[in-house]
Structure 1
């Protein structure tokens, strides 16, 4: 069996997110890892920091390195990630080298040297935003019929679930959630295009690469309006930080995104507000800490909505 050390925070996250499926997966993880390493002729090297999946650098039979991700198969999130990356086909994103959906396994190109875009913030924030704009241009293409990815519009259910869970005064202002829910549905209904989205594009998911200047990792993989893509950028990096620097950068980021992507500034503001509130809503689906910066971003953007 592969010797795997699992931090307590990681096991709590997996169990809290996927319940019995997560507990079963954790119990079988050493066996699954051993099977996948053997099947793909890999040698495990140092693991990466863990959040929702077990992730490690591996060495392949030809001596090159790659990244192995193992996740709860029943969740399907790695299958969505793989489908999105296969659609991107290496344009602005790491390539898929192998996948095993039944085992929840994904072998990926390693972006080297792999310095995250956050290294440019705040001193070179304009350069960082320009890098994301260029990545978006490379990623976004019309979604073909039958692409095996969920529709962005389905995420309206997160707003509805939150409003049902907190019928009175909730942890987030009900008026704020209702406004975001209405605007989310309106933006999806008036989508300018229907493209395959990364779905979680921010400064820690864009890395330096020797193949392209920047490559994205860890897509959620959804299909919908391209404006959704810019939301996570506005409250990152370090969304748990109390530092106000990112809030001070907000007006410049919004203007640069509108200009760089040819998007009406009103739509950039609207998507930024919607995704900031959605991020807050997701916090209360799990055990994440309160006082995320996303709430402060939503409050800053609220007066600017049309």
Structure 2
């Protein structure tokens, strides 16, 4: 009986990447990491790809690859049990290349995507703060191109489900701890109100900010890495208010918030009070998620929430 052939490639997995996967997905993550070299090798063979430039890693393994015709693409692998790459692919297919990269191939069972390579791929964050108005205009343009009514039966999670994070946090941490309880309570209540008064459900990127928008050739800017969720269009603006991570003084980004909110309200035709409300809600939600993940917070979203609290309607 012939021995089973194993195909493996030598891929570099940093300590930080391995730790992130273990902390986020536990045993499923460990199993995925162990099989990643063999899985990658089989994908390269099955899809006729060759590894090219490695890309920064967070919780997915990502690399540029050469396709059979010589063009480049991006190969992205994630823990299949989570379903997050399937949601990403579905959202990108709904966007259909308008304002976002295209899906070239997907294998949900193995947690794999082959994606359009946005070149030159410079992140929008590189223009902040010196050209922030220009960048905000670009993000507004992307939102307008991405947002379409959610197709009937689309298999994406509903935004309203994210509201459970506030209740879960309040139950798990009954005291003040690092995240003030009154902020979580107010954000949870306001989140429900905003979802209940949605202007019409659209397919949302769900994590649209300066690190997830790249300079490209097919369109001036293309979005990457969507979470894929269906809900109120206003949710899209929250993450861009406290991003990107500043290269200099930590309050640089927060000093741009008022101008950004005014530009977003005007550019999207959204009531200013709704822009403020979604900014506050998402700032608190970001800290809730970060605290649940590793017990610490970045601090900047919390400072944004405190800054926006007095601007909320009574």
What TM-score do the two structures reach when normalised by structure 2? Answer: 0.96
Alpha-carbon deviation of 1:145? Answer: 1.3
Q: Do 1:54 and 1:69's aligned partners in 2 also have CA atoms closer than 8 Å?
A: yes
Match of 2:55 among 39, 48, 51: 48
TM-superposed CA distance for 1:287, in Å, is: 2.2
1:161 aligns with 2:168: yes
State the match for 2:142 in structure 1. Answer: 135
State how far apart, in whole Å, the 2-side matches of 1:86 and 1:108 are: 11
SS at match of 1:236: coil
Structure 1 runs of 4+ with >2 Å offset: 239-242, 287-292
Residue 35 of structure 1: aligned partner = 42
Of residues 111, 116, 122 in structure 1, which corresponds to 2:123?
116
Q: 1:2–1:31: 8 Å Cα contact kept in structure 2?
A: yes
Aligned counterparts of 1:230 and 1:122: Cα–Cα separation in 2: 18
How far is 1:13 from its partner?
0.8
> Where does residue 298 of structure 1 map in the other structure?
305
Query: Residues 246 and 252 of structure 2 are in contact (CA less than 8 Å); yes or no, is this contact kept in structure 1?
Result: no
Structure 1 residues 178-199: Cα deviation after superposition (integer angstroms, max 9, x where no partner): 0000000000000011000000
- 1:25 equivalent in alignment to 2:32: yes
Matches within 5 A, 1:74-113: 74-113=81-120
- Give secondary structure in 1 for the equivalent of 2:293: coil
Partner residue in 2 for 1:144? 151
Q: Does the CA-based 8 Å contact 1:241-1:293 persist in structure 2?
A: no
Partner SS state of residue 109, structure 2: coil
Q: Deviations over 1:223-273 (max 9, x none)?
A: 000000000000000069752111111110000000000000000000000
CA deviations on 1:155-191 (whole Å, 9 max, x unpaired) are 0111111111101222200000000000000000000
Q: Give the 3 Å change call, closer, same or farther, for CA 16–239 of structure 1 in structure 2.
A: farther
Distance 2:249 2:91 in 1: 33
Q: CA deviation at 1:109?
A: 0.2
Who is 2:190 aligned against?
Answer: 183
1:240–1:274 Cα change, 3 Å: farther
- Judged with a 3 Å threshold, the aligned counterparts in structure 2 of structure 1 residues 235 and 241 are, in CA distance, closer, same or farther, namely farther
Determine the C-alpha separation between the residues in 2 that align with 1:271 and 1:76. Answer: 26
Unaligned runs of 5+ in 1: none
Q: Which residue of 2 aligns with 1:174?
A: 181
Cα shift at 1:205: 0.4
- In structure 1, the residue matched to 2:230 is 223
Q: Is the 8 Å Cα contact of residues 13 and 51 (structure 1) preserved in structure 2?
A: yes
Contact 2:119 2:215 in 1 (8 A): yes
SS for the counterpart of 2:70 is coil
Aligned residue-pair number: 306
Contact map agreement 1:239 1:294 (CA 8 A) in 2: no
Where in structure 2 are the equivalents of 1:173-252 lying within 5 Å? 173-238=180-245, 243-252=250-259
Three-state SS of the structure 2 residue aligned to 1:259 is: helix
- Please list every run of 5 or more consecutive structure 2 residues that lacks an aligned counterpart in the other structure: 1-7
SS at match of 1:114: coil
Is the 2:74–2:114 contact (alpha carbons within 8 Å) kept by the matching residues of 1?
Answer: yes
User: How far, CA to CA, are the matches of 2:107 and 2:63 in structure 1?
Assistant: 16
- The 3 A distance-change label for structure 1 pair 239 and 19 is farther
Contact 1:158 1:278 in 2 (8 A): yes
Q: 1:263 to 1:137 in 2, by over 3 A?
A: same
2: CA distance, partners of 1:170 / 1:7: 32
Which residue of 63, 74, 98 maps to 1:67? 74
TM-score for the superposition, normalised by structure 1: 0.98
